[in-house]
Amino acid sequence: MDYNIAKFSHILALFMWIGSTSSIGLYFLYTLIKPSSYPQDEIRSFYRWMVNLEVLSLIVAISMGLWMLHLMKFRFDINWLNIKLLLVLFIILPLEALNFWFVNFYIPKAQEKERAYRMYDLFVLLISLPLIFVIIAIVYLAVFKP
């Protein structure tokens, strides 16, 4: 796969990742202002689908990114890429792994569903703002390449 196809796929996968991430976040904020009449189980199933789409898109975006590094014969000698890799590997990936665990393991297995939902909502509230700043920082690095 040549470099431009990998870069094109990288950016398309990022659109899917940021699209699914922000749609959950915005809907979540909306239900804080205007609680939904939908049964919780249905809302949580929507969250689970979106989080799994989010994680799949991020895996594709990272795979295409790493493939570009391979084609560039990257030797950790490019400053913006080094910082970007640190932000992705030590902030984005662990948060997405926790997100994936919450919706696919913690909540489905929880005896007290209401408590599990509250724990997950607190997690989403706590990570949303830092995640937005980290994403802006990564896009800045990728575009301006300081």
User: Under the rule (CB under 6 A), what is the footprint of ligand HEM?
Assistant: 7, 10-11, 14, 61-62, 65-66, 68-69, 84-85, 88, 92, 135, 138-139, 142-143
Determine the residue type at 69: L
29 vs 89, beta carbon nearer ligand HEM: 89
Which is nearer to ligand HEM, 86 or 122 (by Cβ)?
86
Min. distance of Cβ 77 from ligand HEM in angstroms? 13
Show the tokens assigned to 16. Answer: 């899917």
- Residue 24 or 61: which CB sits closer to ligand HEM? 61
Task: For the CB of residue 61, give the shortest distance to ligand HEM in the complex, in Å.
Answer: 6
CA gap 108, 26 in Å, rounded: 23
Which burial class, exposed, middle or buried, applies to 79 when counting CB atoms under 10 A from its CB (0-12, 13-18, 19+)? Answer: exposed
Q: Cα 104 from chain centroid?
A: 15
Based on CB atoms, which residue is closest to ligand HEM, 10 or 44? 10
Sign of CA dihedral 95, 23, 58, 145: negative
Rounded Cα–Cα distance for residues 53 and 126 (Å): 21
Shortest Cβ 85–ligand HEM spacing (Å) = 5
* Minimum distance, C-beta of residue 9 to ligand HEM, in the bound complex (Å): 11
